[in-house]
């Protein structure tokens, strides 16, 4: 079992929403975003460079900036998760929907 699955959330997600593209994949049974949302909330930022990871860590401490994660699900599927600076909304989206 992955460490992120065992970790407690480090911040609140607020209202969780997904774009039409992610919703379509979920509705077709082609994708379960739950494990990726748990990783995001535990501070596992996925496939980000060190600078972006440090920026997220600083934003988590200050509470003054949004939090961003990127996960390569398959060769053809990447998921982005963005939590707003005030932690009121977390959005699951495909990069092409940004």
User: Is-contact 37 22, C-beta < 8 A?
Assistant: no
- Enumerate residue ranges in the chain where pLDDT < 50: 1-5
pLDDT digits (tens, 9 = 90+) for 10-38: 999 999 999 999 999 999 999 999 999 99
pTM confidence score: 0.91
40 φ, ψ (degrees, to nearest 5): -60, -50
- Tell me what pLDDT residue 1 has: 38
User: Is-contact 78 48, C-beta < 8 A?
Assistant: no
Q: Where are the domains of the chain?
A: 14-97
């Amino acid at each position: 079992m992955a460490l992120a699955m065992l970790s407690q959330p480090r911040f609140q997600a607020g209202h969780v929403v997904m774009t039409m593209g992610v919703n379509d994949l979920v509705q077709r049974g082609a994708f379960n975003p739950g494990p990726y949302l748990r990783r995001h909330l535990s501070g596992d930022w996925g496939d980000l460079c060190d600078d972006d990871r440090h920026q997220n860590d600083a934003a988590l401490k200050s509470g003054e900036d949004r939090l961003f994660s990127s996960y390569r699900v398959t060769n053809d599927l990447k998921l982005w998760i963005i939590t707003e600076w005030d932690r009121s909304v977390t959005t699951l989206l495909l990069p092409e929907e940004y």
